[in-house]
């Protein structure tokens, strides 16, 4: 993905799934999307639990999937 076309949103983790996947409810439109944690978060062993506030990057082409880039 190119950096200038990413959509950045904030939300709350509602469910933890296997293989470092999460369901995140976005703040803006209350949409629930499927996310995975980014490589930087995996590398530094940053844990994400249910109820955590996160920052999500999404592609404008597929708004149902995203990548968690930060835990707030």
Chain segment 42-65, per-residue pLDDT in tens: 999 999 999 999 999 999 999 999
For the domain spanning 3-71, the CATH number is: 2.40.50.140
55 bridge partner residues: 10, 70
pLDDT digits (tens, 9 = 90+) for 9-47: 999 999 999 999 999 999 999 999 999 999 899 999 999
Non-local CB neighbours of 70 within 8 Å, separated by 6+ positions: 41, 54, 55
- Assigned token pair, 30: 């209350």
């Amino acid at each position: 993905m190119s950096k200038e076309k990413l959509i950045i949103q904030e939300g709350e983790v509602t469910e933890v799934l296997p293989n470092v996947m999460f369901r995140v409810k976005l703040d803006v439109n209350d949409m629930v999307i499927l996310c995975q944690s980014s490589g930087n978060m995996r590398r530094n062993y940053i844990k994400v639990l249910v109820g955590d506030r996160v920052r999500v990057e999404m592609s404008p082409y597929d708004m149902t999937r995203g990548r968690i880039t930060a835990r707030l």
